[in-house]
Structure 1
Amino acid sequence: MIEPHEIRRKAEKLYSAFLVAWMADEEFFPRSVPSDRSLPESLTAAAASIQRLRDGSKAALGFGYTIDWKERNSRRHGRNFFPRSIYFESPDDLLRFIGKQKAFSAFTATVQKIRSRHPGLDRWIRANRRAVADAASGIDGLLETVDYFLAHPRPEMFARELPLSVDTKFIERNAGLLRAWLDILLPSSAIVADEEHFARRFGLKYAEPLVHIRFLDTSLPQAASIPSFECAIPLHTMARWEIEAKNVVIVENKTNLLTLPPLAGTLGIFGMGGGVTDLRYVGWLARRHLRYWGDVDVDGFRILSRLRSVFPHVQSFLMDDACLTEWALLIAAPGNGSKGEVLPNLTNSERRAYERCVLNNLRIEQERLPQSYVVDSIASVPEFHI
């Protein structure tokens, strides 16, 4: 015989289905609870089971599940009333039984607010019930923000400058949800569709990342009218300055960047870690010999793979199986235990090194490689001329 706590578990699973039916304006009640209604063989145990079922029902509590009883003879249990069906008669019965009255009230109020302001989001609402529930506490701010973007597409202001009642971090905290809604509601002309960054996608100003560069050829800064061999440039400013370097080396460790030897026609860039794909805005890099030098570890190869998704021609430097084999026993340290994944943009030698790093939790930090080895390795690269 099913027990009241088992009915509760089943009722909690009904809640999601009820939300779907409610949003579609479909009838959901009365709703049967599939259950095992067979009684224990012992008359005493059967009577106790029946009593527990009665005590947890709507007849006893005033809400919850209803039991339809049928009187019949049983050779084992005699003439008695047996449960024929168990069901919830109404939304209130279900919601009170599982303690979801407040959650349901907040959910329905949120849905109604969204639908009344932006009917175009109805399909999204139906497909994203959990996100709707999570949005309940901030729904007024979300709708206010969306309304502003609809009235002022691509405002070219910092988020904190927008005349909204929300706090200055609200858009940042809710960027995922706002993006989903704005993608649906804004005209395509107001969206940079291939841009993942929220501010760039929807026309907000933002603090651009600075790109730290170092000229390894002393003639390059003069040709570019830059009064320094080393400087930090806003990303989009760098995109407009087409520096006439033949080679570009992206280095993830600043000390290594600063200790690179002079190289004819070469520009060094301090890497941006996981944000390295932002360099796609520097379009002229696609027309340069491009090298990437990161740590020989799981994260280093992830960054390399991401960079190669933007610049397929980029070559790695000191990030192959040969480097790992030569130095693993001498300077390798434990990695951060990152789990492996399929990286689609590695060469065979890079992939072998990556798989060894995953399998053995290895890391060779680039700054631990001897400077003499680095210089000799640079000298062996055809496009570099020391």
Structure 2
Amino acid sequence: MSDPSRWTTPAGIAAKVRRGWDDGSLLRAFVSGDPCPVIEVPLRGPVAADLGEHFDRARAWADGIRAASQGGRAYEVVSGRIGGRLAGATELPARAVVETYDRAWRLLGAATEAAAFRSLVEAAHTEPRAREWALRAPIAAIALADEWLTVLAALRWLDARRDSGLYLRQVTAPGVDTKFIERHRGVLAAMLGVPARGFTAALGYATKPSTVRMRFAPGVLAMPSGLSEAVLRTDELRRLRVRPRRALIVENEITYLSVPVPDDGVVLWGKGYDADEPASLDWLAGIDVDYWGDLDTHGFGILHRVRAWLPHARSVLMDRETLLAHEDRWGEEPSPTAAALTTLDAAETALYTDLVTDRYGVRVRLEQERIDWDWALSHLVTGD
């Protein structure tokens, strides 16, 4: 006898057909005008030995398969005969056959979605990139059916103004705004052939300018008398005549505001991994530069990035002595890194390794703002 739990169910038939829906092959064939691929599903059901002891169950199974065919509108049931001379021959469903799109859509309950896909492909007949994208990703395209015309409008506007230097805020396409573009950035990027990351710049649109916040000693920067701090666009700051003799890049904002400005020098706010911005200023290349960050794995990761721009940069207050002197102020780093940091010197590498391997405890970190202030001041270079 067979195991009734292994008999094919109507859901099993639908699942076989759904594979062609999920991979897009059925929808692509449908809108391309190709004949519907014939899908045959062999049915596992009762065997002759079941007809005696489990006859009612076998009949119920057969009735269920036939009922789910919706009178042949969802699939055709092809019967076969089981049994023989002793038990008598009995006809039972042997195969379910789907050979038309109407049957496939009815079986899957997807007639509305299939019609929507056809409509959106037709709507994109003048936008081959949108049409090609929809054919590659039919299910994703159907999810956009209600917004499809707006997606096409955004596509046309973005493509027509490539390399314009406009901000996306200046979009004038009907129904399109910056939030819409951002929400559909991945789709639009795929259609336009650019990466989703860096999408705006890749299309030649203006991006939010990066800035550097800095405090400076008198005479270092040509500013009106009485000013000691400025936030400047990075590209413009590169063009200014800035003549410090030393610089300190600080990770934490309050610490940045608190440290003394070095004589004839500047203090720059690094903002964590945004430290690339101040570190990229070419006028820092020929002067003494200190970097002070958190004493944890990511602090060393940021130091590594700073050194990519400023190989001569010196770390301060990121040493073993400082760490061990503040054990009562240690915290736990939420998500440490273990990346290879090739720009660290021998002492920094040794301490970084100790942090990665939990030598002193699990995920040990000493945040910059938890270091004793007198200790910090005694280790910072603030004058000649």
TM range (shorter): 0.7 to 0.9
Q: Which piece of structure 1 moves more, 77-86 or 239-248? A: 239-248
Structure 2 counterparts to residues 258-273 of structure 1, below 5 A: 258-264=257-263, 266-273=265-272
| 1:51 maps to amino acid | D
Q: 1:181 to 1:297 in 2, by over 3 A?
A: farther
Q: 1:342 to 1:330 in 2, by over 3 A?
A: closer
Distance in 2 between residues matched to 1:136 and 1:247, nearest whole Å: 59
Q: 1:238 to 1:363 in 2, by over 3 A?
A: same
Unaligned runs of 5+ in 2: 1-6
Counterpart of 2:205 in structure 1 is 204
Quote the offset at 1:36 in angstroms.
Answer: 3.2
Larger helix fraction of residues = 1
Quote the offset at 1:257 in angstroms.
Answer: 0.7
| 1:31 maps to amino acid | I
Q: 1:234 to 1:137 in 2, by over 3 A?
A: farther
Distance in 1 between residues matched to 2:210 and 2:262, nearest whole Å: 26
Distance in 2 between residues matched to 1:251 and 1:154, nearest whole Å: 36
| 2:352 maps to amino acid | E
Q: Secondary structure at the match of 1:85?
A: strand
Structure 2 counterparts to residues 11-160 of structure 1, below 5 A: 11-17=17-23, 18-22=26-30, 27-33=35-41, 35-37=43-45, 39=47, 41=50, 42-44=53-55, 45-59=57-71, 63-74=73-84, 78-114=88-124, 116-120=125-129, 124-160=133-169
Q: Is the 8 A contact 2:355 2:363 kept in 1?
A: no
Q: Which piece of structure 1 moves more, 362-371 or 7-16? A: 7-16
Counterpart of 1:331 in structure 2 is 329
Quote the offset at 1:295 in angstroms.
Answer: 3.1
Q: Is the 8 A contact 1:43 1:77 kept in 2?
A: no
Quote the offset at 1:136 in angstroms.
Answer: 2.9
Q: Is the 8 A contact 1:280 1:310 kept in 2?
A: yes
Distance in 2 between residues matched to 1:90 and 1:378, nearest whole Å: 79
Quote the offset at 1:331 in angstroms.
Answer: 1.1
Q: Secondary structure at the match of 1:212?
A: strand
Distance in 2 between residues matched to 1:13 and 1:322, nearest whole Å: 62
Q: TM-score, normalised by structure 1?
A: 0.76
Percent of matched pairs sharing the same residue? 23
Instruction: Determine whether 1:220 maps to 2:220.
Output: yes
Distance in 2 between residues matched to 1:76 and 1:376, nearest whole Å: 103
Q: 1:361 to 1:80 in 2, by over 3 A?
A: farther
Q: TM-score, normalised by structure 2?
A: 0.76
Counterpart of 1:373 in structure 2 is 375
Unaligned runs of 5+ in 1: 185-192
Deviation by residue 1:25-78 (Cα, 9 ceiling, x = unmatched): 65442212355345483423322222222222232xx53232211124357964
Quote the offset at 1:302 in angstroms.
Answer: 5.8
| 1:175 maps to amino acid | R
Aligned residues: 364
Q: Secondary structure at the match of 2:243?
A: coil
Counterpart of 1:188 in structure 2 is none
Distance in 2 between residues matched to 1:312 and 1:23, nearest whole Å: 59
Quote the offset at 1:311 in angstroms.
Answer: 6.4
Q: Is the 8 A contact 1:251 1:271 kept in 2?
A: yes
| 1:118 maps to amino acid | E
Higher-Rg member (1/2): 2
Q: 1:77 to 1:367 in 2, by over 3 A?
A: farther
Deviation by residue 1:214-242 (Cα, 9 ceiling, x = unmatched): 12x44412xx4465221111233223325
Across the aligned residues of Structure 1 and Structure 2, the Cα RMSD in angstroms comes to 3.8
Q: 1:151 to 1:353 in 2, by over 3 A?
A: same
Q: 1:275 to 1:101 in 2, by over 3 A?
A: farther
